[in-house]
Amino acid sequence: MTSIKEQAAISRLLSFLQDWDNAGKVARSHILNTFIETNQGKTAPELEQEFSQGASLFLVRLTTWLRLIYMTGSCLDKLLKSIGIFLSAVSSNRYLIEFLEVGGVLTLLEILGLEKIKEEDKKESIRLLQVIANSGRKYKELICESYGVRSIAEFLAKSKSEETQEEVQILLDSLVHGNPKYQNQVYKGLIALLPCASPKAQQLSLQTLRTAQSIVGTTHPSIVDCVLKVLRTMHLEVQYEAIELIKDLVNYDVCQALLKGLVALLIPSVKETSKLQPKILNDSAVLQLTANLPVFLQQAAAAKAIGVLARSNTSIAEEMLHLRVVHSLMAAMGNTDHSNSQRQASLTLEYFVQMFPVVEEHVRRSMGEELYELFLSNAEDLYMKIDSIQADILAANKVNVSKGEWGVRGPGAEVQWAPRLRLASPASSVIHQWRLLQQHELLPWPLW
């Protein structure tokens, strides 16, 4: 027989459940407020004690109401927080199973795709999915089997709240760890996010991709093209993460394709640049529009990435010499439409000149005495000092450092200067310089 105390507790539980069943939206909202205030952080045994060993009876009512009203958004935030108290409680495996058995994961994922639902409610849904994913491998698999990766990735791309997006990143990071069956699915989902329009989503995806890549081990064929296209961004935080990922990717089988792609970006195709010119010419109010053209932003970022890679690994620097990176860097230095391209290319070329004696010789012959002295004095500010003819000389260079020519200059090595081109007189310096360059077959056309 139950004691009088137990009978009283059961009576209170039945009365509470009856109040819930008979309440409308406003009354239920008050009940939820009270529940959240008094039960936040409690363990499963404590919840059972609070509800006289009948906590599941209240949880089933919460999940039933969730399925009825989640499309309308009414009281959704409080309802999800209340369910979260059950799911996140210590020793809550029983509550978790009960929630999943009634289709809880599918409901949470569907909430993410509903336009009428508030961002804050969707963030609560993400937090519940985090709790489920952190409960073990089989729960991560359940989320992935419910097309969760696609729903979560699409929400990350569309979300307008950076705080919510960071919560989504935590969830995706959890799904890629300890989930061998579906880790590739998460990895591909992250790659699919790279072209999205949200800079924050791109940044977070790139960060998580670095982790996912180390877990998956093999690379997906599309990752090179996707990462290189991200370099068109005007957001420096996104560019930084892209370059960090590129630094990781050179250690995988896509290294050669990645290096070729970076060097190719230094000389944008005619198709890429010409299709943007009419927009510039038709808008006289925007005098510096070219500075923000994606193709030139990509060019500058590629020059920067090449410099980062070359400084970190001499073997990579040598491989890029074989890909004619010096020729391409000098061509980028001649791009007067985008000063940052000139600056980044000049800084990277400075490293190659300092590291490889033969590069120094080729660059000196191609640039000529006057331009090379300017380059040596301050590579970073060279773009502010050159004139249009010197820019054309850089853009039209034919430098080709043959494989086998170069040798790495060791620490403290004495610089062996190549023979310098001498100018006749200040009055004829430009024409004489041009003819000397043509004589050395560094220009494709005569002056006249």
Average pLDDT, stretch 62-84?
Answer: 93
Of the listed ranges 45-49, 114-118, 288-292, the least confidently predicted one is 288-292
Per-residue pLDDT reduced to its tens digit, 190-235? 999 999 999 999 999 999 999 999 999 999 989 999 999 999 999 9
Instruction: Say yes or no to pLDDT of 156 above 60.
Output: yes
d(CA 433, CA 437): 6
CB-side neighbour CA atoms (13 Å) of 30: 7
Average pLDDT, stretch 418-424?
Answer: 37
Average pLDDT, stretch 290-299?
Answer: 80
Written as six digits, the tokens of 64 are 């039933």
According to the model, what pLDDT value does residue 412 have?
Answer: 40
Per-residue pLDDT reduced to its tens digit, 342-391? 999 999 999 999 999 999 999 999 999 999 999 999 999 999 999 999 99
Closest to 346 measured CA to CA, from 389, 390, 307, 298? 307
Instruction: Say yes or no to pLDDT of 429 above 70.
Output: no
d(CA 372, CA 389): 14
According to the model, what pLDDT value does residue 413 have?
Answer: 42
According to the model, what pLDDT value does residue 72 have?
Answer: 87
- How many Å separate Cα 26 from the centre of its chain? 43
